[in-house]
Structure 1
Amino acid sequence: MSPQPLLRSALLAGAVVLSFASIPSNAATKSANFQVLATMVSDCTIISITNVDFGSVGVLSNDLDTIATLTVACTPGTSYTVSLNAGTGAGSTITDRRMGSAGGGSLKYQLFRDAARTQNWGNTPGTDTQGGTGNGSNNAYTIYARLPTQTAPAIGSYTSTVTATITY
């Protein structure tokens, strides 16, 4: 085949492509803008609390200590306090909490804000609560717990449910 028919075929193919490219399109586009909005407000939440677990206990001739962790999060700049109530054991107070058993027994325990276990953790803001200012991240607080030396109660399982409250 001579180069002329090939050239002619190539020119013809190019002309066909150009003719399609020059056909005006009937498609049109239009745009609109929108905003994405959010308003951050003062807010806090209790993320988690581990149980205070003294394990299996026998004679209480010495104080028995353990810890738990309470984790909170607040929006930046939000002031807050975290309080713990006396618990559900019959006769419980902030300074003298009690666990109860199904048999009616009572086991004393205490919750503190400090490792030396000298500052009760209660529910009176400015007196016996923990607090801070939110930074948008999780903040962990240690609950220092103690079974003080006491006469051992009857054998059985002892429990109390303590409510943690965050106020902001």
Structure 2
Amino acid sequence: MENTLTKKASESRTLMTQLIFPHDTNHYDTMFGGKLMEYMDKVAAIAAMRHARMRVVTASTDSLDFLKPIRIGDAIEVEAFVTWTHRSSMEIYVSVTTENLYSGARDVTVTAFFTFVALDEQSKPCPVPSVQPESELEQQLYATAPERYAQRKKRKQDRLGN
């Protein structure tokens, strides 16, 4: 049975703020990429669960672009929301913004798309609500999502040799 419910993208919006300490950084005094990816995956998972209201698993991560370094003492905001859905999958846009707490300067430092799949009690993929974009960014990401979905699907088929 298909789920015909539609939810606003803003209903899944999730925000996490962290202060970057020396133990979060590498020998260049910039944040470990893997640590940041962990934060991004967690925030994306919460956004996916808020949208689907069920268990979810990470299916893929793509377009993970590190635009600027994150340094000790920076505050980061990791923000995520569901941009588009297919039958049981959800595309989540995640962005990371740094803030210098002394000057107030803010920069987008990382962006990525995560794909999550909703699971039922038997760990089988199950339908999720569709997305209603509202803001200009949400509308832009929604409009371009089918192309990203097709690229992911082709990439997966190419890797599986199908």
User: Which TM class, normalised by the smaller chain length?
Assistant: under 0.3
TM-score (norm 2): 0.24
Question: TM-score scaled by structure 1?
Answer: 0.24
Q: Which has the larger radius of gyration?
A: 1
Name the structure with the higher strand share: 2
